[in-house]
Amino acid sequence: MEKDNVNTVKYPALLDIKFAKVASSLGITKRELFVKMVEYFYRTKKDPSDINDDLLKSSFAKSHKVYTSFIKTQEQLLLIPMKEAMDKMISNQKDIVKYFNEQVVNANKSILKNQQEHISKLQETENLLVKAIEGKEKLKTNFLLILNGYIRNREELGSFKAREREDLIENVRKQIASL
């Protein structure tokens, strides 16, 4: 070092204690430490008043790495298996809904077909009942006509014509049998 051109820097005594501790921990003199500090700030162009700059950056970098590794671990342990399980569950739900819809549609078609068959059978039964009722009424009407004709003819015959009376009874029986 040059001893020719020496300048003096004044600073408080408490700072000198810190300065001496740093120099002794590095194993160099206070003058050498001062020269190295000036070189360091000159070359790096860092602001010496911003002492937390490097510490903050390294702290952020460490925290970022820790958080990133934590997130990647959680992703592997939790998120990916959960996503796979949810995808499987969604697929199963879709299959269940599809199966349910197919079953419901088929059941509805079957029920509708059975209802149509019942309606047609009921219609046929109703038609048969109407015909039966109409036939019964027609039968009653015809029977009354035959009965009235028998009564009228019997009254006209009187009590002495047995042969004609037998013919009338036989004729009425044939008419009733043909109903």
For residue 115, the model assigns a pLDDT of 94
Q: Is 70 exceeded by the pLDDT of residue 53?
A: no
Q: Using pLDDT thresholds of 50, 70 and 90, give the confidence band for residue 65.
A: confident
Packing angle of the helix pair 13-26, 30-44 (nearest 10 deg)? 90
* Per-residue pLDDT at 155 exceeds 80: no
Over residues 38-65, the mean pLDDT reads 77
pTM as predicted:
0.36
Distance of alpha carbon 110 from alpha carbon 132, whole angstroms:
32
CB contact at 8 A, 51 and 18: no
Tokens in use for 19? 């300065």
Mean pLDDT of the chain: 85
Which tens digit of pLDDT belongs to each residue from 92-146? 999 999 998 899 889 999 999 999 999 999 999 999 999 888 888 888 888 888 8
